[in-house]
Structure 1
Amino acid sequence: MLKRLKEKSNDEKIRNTMNKRVSFVFGLIVFIFAIVVLRLGYLQIAQGSHYKQQIKNSENITVNESVPRGRILDRNGKVIVDNASKMSITYTRGKKTSQDEVLTTARKLSKLIHMKTDQITDRDKQDYWIQKHPNKSKAMMKHEQSLLDDGSISQEQYDATLHKKITSKQLNSLTDKDLQVLAIYREMMSGSTLNPQTIKNDGVTKKEYAAVSQKLTQLPGVNTSMDWDRKYPYGDTLRGVLGDVSTSKEGIPKELTDKYLSKGYSRNDRVGKSYLEYQYEDILKGKKKEMKYTTDKSGDIINSKVVNPGSRGDDLVLSIDIDLQRKTEKYLKEQISKLRGEGAKNMDNALMVVQNPNNGDILAMVGKQIHKDGSMTDYDIGTFTSQYAVGSSVKGGTLLAGYQNNAIKVGEKMVDEPLKFAGGLQKHSYFNQDGKVTINDKQALMHSSNVYMFKTALKIAGHPYMPNMNLPSDITVAGQKLRKGLNQVGLGVKTGIDLPNETSGQIEPLNNNPGNYLDLAIGQYDTYTPMQLSQYVSTIANNGYRIQPHIGLEIRNATNQDTLGPVKQKIKGNVLNKVNNTKAQINEVQQGFKMVFNEVPGTGYESFHNTDVPSAGKTGTAEVFQDGKPRVNSTYIGYAPINNPKLAFSIVYTNQPVPEPWLNGGDVGKDIINDYFKNKEK
């Protein structure tokens, strides 16, 4: 009996133990199942949209297929920059495509096209030799392989040693056929996965294009398409200002990488890299094609679908009149030749800006750099990127500053006479070097009186002229007042033109240098750009409004035809400021400018007194040095007609011979006025 009870007790113990184990296993299964359910719920509910987007991103790829840029046209709809199509051969590498597979395709392709090999580097050759001779490469690296295996060296150190061991003789063993394959291979490997990379788009022959097209099924990833290049129907006209676009091989220039990558560009995108192409990149760039790729388990592409076909960029219409631009260039070149024939053999720059003074439209901007032999290089960008001492052209701004600071009044008379200061310093006007002539402010502009401007500057400083006076020791405040007046008309500050790299000129310190302060009043100290001169004379012409110049005029929607699409945006010149002068004060300067061009002995009379429509303006001569020898810069600013100005201009010639003889370069301004209004009437 006891034995039977004992056996029963043991059975119960075993049964209880088994029940506990089963319960534990069951509980563990329930626990794991609960975790799985919770995890699935979390993935579906909390992270579902995230993973859906990841799947979408891995399938929908914005491919780097070249899309034509928008065109650039002049204000009359004439195409200045267009796109020329050309045949292209591209390669799209799959996510899991191996280097050996790429190399195999490159070998096949090398039998169909010819590549230039001048861009192949020694490193390219080393990499190719290693891939072509894997067994020899391993044999050369037995010792290093053992060091790599035991962790004594890194993979980078191993690779560096291998490249160093490859000799010139081994590299020279590569045949022309090898180099052809290598040239193709390096292009195929330079692109990112699932993004078409251009293999060849320059000089693709019809035979090559046809041969590749016929073999596409045997060339995985290779495709034939149409690429484009910028073309310029007007040749070199305005070429510098138009700017450049990077090539497909160049991609994003190194100095612009951060800027463009932050905007979502790919490294091998073609982008505007200078001037107009750069300034209006967001407008001119096209919208890239978007593809949806389907891949198998191994990552190979088995299907593709165009989600968005992409489109070319919008068109940019300029304020430039291309016919006026070409005529201005023609007239300026003729004037340069004339001046050189009269003795200006060292003149090295000639620049001109033509604009509408009422809205900031730049109608023409021409620059020429002149070489010793008389040949010329286009320097249109110099109109806003280079600065010069401009001389008496600034005197209208000096008078306005004098009025603003209550230093002089409208119509005020002063005696033009040689000025003598303590310490022996003497200053005088060019037209009156030893006499005394009483003149008013308008006459001071007509005669280009230095003395009137000197006396005005001294009054601004609170030290009216007296013979043998000491010049003020500290002219910091006076310099600020005079410069503020000049700034208001556009001198010494950036104009705000819609082009990169504009300079504000060279503005030197003014504190304990009163002689330089006097020179500032006659344009002999600070330096200005031709664009600033044009903005300045426009401000006087339009009754005191400093307007931002602009070369862009309209943005037009892209169309599939060569016609212009509807206006998407108009580009207007903003009013930057109004001068702090009364209407009477501005009118006084206008009347002085009228006398400069239309009365004897006005300094601009010779060229401008008989323009087809009445014109007004100012001339200037600045003393400069070239290679240690004295020269002069000659400047001309003006507008027409006098009563309702529609056209303003500035002209700068640098390093002309010191008068005499006086070399008159104003005729190009007269030619432009006559030509412009003659065509406007037509």
Structure 2
Amino acid sequence: MTEFKNAERELSLFRWRLIIVALLVLACFGGLLARVVWLQVYKHADYVAQAEENRVSIVPIVPNRGLIYDRNGVVLASNYSAYTLEITPSKIRTDLDSLIEELSGLIEIAPRDRKKFKKLMEESKNFESIPIRTRLTDEEVARFTVQRFRFPGVEIQARLFRQYPLGDVAAHVIGFIGRINQRDAKRIEEMEDSANYNGTDYIGKEGLEKSYEKELHGQTGYEEVEVSAGGRAVRTLSRTGATPGNNLILSIDIELQKVVEQAFGNQRGALVAIEPSTGDVLAWVSRPSFDPNLFVEGIDQQSWDELNNSLDRPLLNRPISGTYPPGSTYKPFMALAALELGKRTPQQGISDPGYFYFGNHKFRDDKEGGHGFVDLYRSVVHSCDTYYYILANEMGVDGIHDFMKPFGFGQLTGIDLEHEKRGLLPSTEWKRNAYKSPQQKKWYAGETISLGIGQGYNHFTPLQLAYATAILANNGVVMKPHLVKVIENSVTRERKLTVPKESYRIPLKQENLDIIKQTMVGVTREGTSAKVFAGAEYVSAGKTGTAQVIGIKQNEKYNAKLIAERLRDNALYIAFAPADKPRIAVSIVVENGGFGAQAAAPIVRKALDFYLLGKRPVENAEKKHAPLLREDSAALRSAAELKADDESDGGPKPGAETVGNKE
């Protein structure tokens, strides 16, 4: 049977199908058109930027680090250019160890270099370029350049390196830079100008390199560089140059620094010399020292262990981080306090029997039998302990504290270095805050006596002692001590003083200052340092000091031969010269040196001879010092022992003895 189709119906169905297909086609083209409009109109700027970023690379230009000079223009920290072999781990297509082995066939890569590279790789981001060899020779550069195609991800870069041409001289002042580690990177991220460190690999780690980092770093520049698909630079499109860091001109006289460091020889200790009228630090010695060049590219483990584990502690910046009892160098300040507070007149004296009894506790003078009649002049010149035992008892701990505080004792000086310690100028308030139990919080009168001779709780830095001496020499006018005298703009050469004016003035009577200065002149003419300064072509004022390191048993006499070298007394000396118009004020501590007159004063004499007269020491100062014996006295008992006695019954124990300082 034949089936007949409905032509009209079929035609209508075909038309609907055609319409649907046409609508679908239009919808697809409409979607494509909308997408083109979205990409070309609305997202045009974004994609143009991305395209440019693929074609144009922003390369930071690291600025030259500022230079460091001494006060006379001697370069203490400089920069030099050298080639480094660097690897970018993200671009390495083979095993890293295998790559390094291949590289070592062209350029010598020592085990130390490999260890340093792996350490840096742990601290760095994967896309950063990491040096595996620095300071390549021209021959090594040529050998690698010929074979460069074999090592994708490995490049030779020209970089600036920091150099400290004088090695360990003034190392604690200058400090050093080092590669930025993770801790540094975190600190940089928190800085307001963190973008300024893009491309920077090194940062100040210690000393002035760290405290003046912002001045020394400079302003980072940028280059817009067109790169190929392989990432190689094709041409430079634009350039904003880097601005070099500012230069630092120090107050240090590096020749004076050398003289003092040589004079120390193998002894440990510190010396600080200050120009009283300006606060300029002329010399800053911490012995032993270290070579800052070791740290620039990362110190090797052996060198680090030698420095870090040494009993001599060469990394310790003693002038600000070492604290010591001042010993008898404290007496001129105590004498000045006596005059200013009306506790003594210059003529008023005591009869010194060689001891002072407080309750049942006997505080002995260093001179058996005493000094006889002692007025204020003789108390300083002959360093009579009994005079100051009595004076301290009359003044009281808070009276001493309040007078000494403006001189900087136990206070931060604000020197332009980090890690300054405050030291300890005791007071009743300090003890209440320092201890927990009610008995420990109490200040016992017996603890005051030893303060008068610079012992007991007294602990100050060599900087504080030099600072106070400079204030005394400058008639109470306080100039903030500083190591950087001038900051110089490296482009315009404009200079700016760091300390342009005085900080404050201590209201002192000139007649009292003159009396104290005369007593200190007497020390160098007829007192404890007279032999050392015999024949000097200038008049200096000084005071010797000897301070115990440990206490010894009651009634036991001090004998250096029976005590380990590192437990012997410290030797101290303070001075300023010329006495009438001081140009230099000095403090020195020779650790375990014995007597101040024997170990400390001779070094100061050499420093003053050079600075005032230009005379250099003739003898070899490298010979190690051997302290004299002190057979006729015992060391002062420690504050801890006195405290233990006092806390047991509210005062010193019957029959207990304390022995004063021997110069």
TM above 0.5, yes or no, is yes
Select between 52-61 and 671-680 the one with higher mean Cα deviation.
Answer: 52-61
1:273 aligns with 2:200: no
CA 1:412 to 1:428, structure 2 compared with 1: closer, same or farther past 3 Å?
Answer: farther
Cα offset, 1:393, TM superposition: 0.6
Conserved 8 A contact 1:410-1:584: no
CA 1:120 to 1:677, structure 2 compared with 1: closer, same or farther past 3 Å?
Answer: closer
Conserved 8 A contact 1:90-1:222: yes
Deviations 1:440-481 (A, max 9, x none): 3x33222323233233323323xxxxxxxxxxxxxxxx43x3
Who is 1:313 aligned against?
245
Who is 1:145 aligned against?
none
Conserved 8 A contact 2:401-2:425: no
CA 1:668 to 1:361, structure 2 compared with 1: closer, same or farther past 3 Å?
Answer: same
Deviations 1:478-529 (A, max 9, x none): 43x3123222112222222211222222456544232222211210121112
CA 1:400 to 1:259, structure 2 compared with 1: closer, same or farther past 3 Å?
Answer: farther
Conserved 8 A contact 2:246-2:488: yes
Task: Name the SS of the counterpart of 1:443 in structure 2.
Answer: helix
Instruction: Identify the match of residue 373 of structure 2 among 430, 433, 437.
Output: 437
Conserved 8 A contact 2:88-2:130: yes
* CA–CA separation in structure 1 for the residues paired with 2:587 and 2:84: 46
What does 1:107-146 align with in structure 2 at a 5 Å threshold?
A: 112-117=106-111
CA 1:272 to 1:494, structure 2 compared with 1: closer, same or farther past 3 Å?
Answer: same
Percent identity over paired residues = 25
Who is 2:71 aligned against?
75
Deviations 1:613-633 (A, max 9, x none): 111122222233265997432
Cα offset, 1:539, TM superposition: 0.5
CA 1:36 to 1:545, structure 2 compared with 1: closer, same or farther past 3 Å?
Answer: farther
Task: Name the SS of the counterpart of 2:531 in structure 1.
Answer: helix
Deviations 1:622-670 (A, max 9, x none): 23326599743221111111111111111222324579xx746422222
Who is 1:358 aligned against?
277
Conserved 8 A contact 2:593-2:599: no
Amino acid at match of 2:131: T
Instruction: Identify the match of residue 522 of structure 1 among 453, 456, 466.
Output: 453
Conserved 8 A contact 2:57-2:226: no
Who is 1:467 aligned against?
none
Instruction: Identify the match of residue 571 of structure 1 among 498, 508, 511.
Output: 498
Who is 1:542 aligned against?
474
Task: Name the SS of the counterpart of 2:592 in structure 1.
Answer: strand
* CA–CA separation in structure 2 for the residues paired with 1:109 and 1:629: 50
Instruction: Identify the match of residue 237 of structure 1 among 150, 169, 174.
Output: 169
Conserved 8 A contact 2:259-2:606: no
**Unaligned stretches of 5+ in structure 2?**
1-14, 290-310, 432-441, 551-562, 616-663
Deviations 1:253-301 (A, max 9, x none): 45544323333246971122111222222233355453324457x7845
Amino acid at match of 1:321: D
What does 1:330-409 align with in structure 2 at a 5 Å threshold?
A: 330-333=262-265, 349-369=268-288, 381-403=317-339, 406-408=341-343
Who is 1:605 aligned against?
530
Conserved 8 A contact 1:63-1:194: no
1:61 aligns with 2:55: no
Conserved 8 A contact 1:368-1:379: no
Amino acid at match of 2:608: I
Task: Name the SS of the counterpart of 1:226 in structure 2.
Answer: strand
Q: Which protein shows a greater Rg?
A: 1
Cα offset, 1:387, TM superposition: 1.5
* CA–CA separation in structure 1 for the residues paired with 2:338 and 2:55: 69
- Counting matched residue pairs gives 556
* CA–CA separation in structure 2 for the residues paired with 1:87 and 1:678: 46
CA 1:434 to 1:639, structure 2 compared with 1: closer, same or farther past 3 Å?
Answer: closer
Cα offset, 1:215, TM superposition: 4.8
Instruction: Identify the match of residue 400 of structure 2 among 482, 503, 511.
Output: 482
Task: Name the SS of the counterpart of 1:459 in structure 2.
Answer: helix
CA 1:315 to 1:460, structure 2 compared with 1: closer, same or farther past 3 Å?
Answer: same
Deviations 1:340-372 (A, max 9, x none): xxxxxxxx63332222111111112223359xx
Cα offset, 1:57, TM superposition: 11
Task: Name the SS of the counterpart of 1:448 in structure 2.
Answer: coil
Select between 31-40 and 276-285 the one with higher mean Cα deviation.
Answer: 31-40
Cα offset, 1:92, TM superposition: 5.7
Amino acid at match of 1:646: R
Instruction: Identify the match of residue 621 of structure 1 among 546, 550, 553.
Output: 546
Task: Name the SS of the counterpart of 1:452 in structure 2.
Answer: helix
Who is 2:180 aligned against?
252
TM-score by length of 1: 0.68
Amino acid at match of 1:427: F
* CA–CA separation in structure 2 for the residues paired with 1:380 and 1:327: 21
Amino acid at match of 1:645: P
Deviations 1:291-315 (A, max 9, x none): 324457x784564526245465333
Who is 1:505 aligned against?
423
* CA–CA separation in structure 2 for the residues paired with 1:106 and 1:605: 67
CA 1:387 to 1:218, structure 2 compared with 1: closer, same or farther past 3 Å?
Answer: same
TM-score by length of 2: 0.69
CA 1:87 to 1:414, structure 2 compared with 1: closer, same or farther past 3 Å?
Answer: same
* CA–CA separation in structure 2 for the residues paired with 1:515 and 1:51: 83
Who is 1:200 aligned against?
133
Conserved 8 A contact 1:93-1:192: no
Deviations 1:215-263 (A, max 9, x none): 55675554433334333333322234322221xxxx3245544323333
* CA–CA separation in structure 2 for the residues paired with 1:190 and 1:425: 61
Task: Name the SS of the counterpart of 2:180 in structure 1.
Answer: coil
Who is 2:554 aligned against?
none
Who is 1:427 aligned against?
363
Deviations 1:535-589 (A, max 9, x none): 1110100011232221112233447xxxxx7244332276344224333333332
Amino acid at match of 1:113: I
Task: Name the SS of the counterpart of 1:87 in structure 2.
Answer: strand
Who is 1:596 aligned against?
523
CA 1:367 to 1:307, structure 2 compared with 1: closer, same or farther past 3 Å?
Answer: same
Cα offset, 1:376, TM superposition: 8.5
Conserved 8 A contact 1:275-1:499: yes
1:645 aligns with 2:608: no
Who is 2:414 aligned against?
496
Amino acid at match of 1:593: M
Amino acid at match of 1:361: D
Task: Name the SS of the counterpart of 1:608 in structure 2.
Answer: coil
* CA–CA separation in structure 2 for the residues paired with 1:433 and 1:223: 80
CA 1:605 to 1:58, structure 2 compared with 1: closer, same or farther past 3 Å?
Answer: farther
Conserved 8 A contact 1:360-1:573: no
Select between 607-616 and 356-365 the one with higher mean Cα deviation.
Answer: 607-616
Conserved 8 A contact 2:172-2:286: no
Who is 1:262 aligned against?
190
Who is 1:452 aligned against?
387
CA 1:583 to 1:432, structure 2 compared with 1: closer, same or farther past 3 Å?
Answer: farther
Conserved 8 A contact 2:356-2:386: no
* CA–CA separation in structure 1 for the residues paired with 2:610 and 2:274: 14
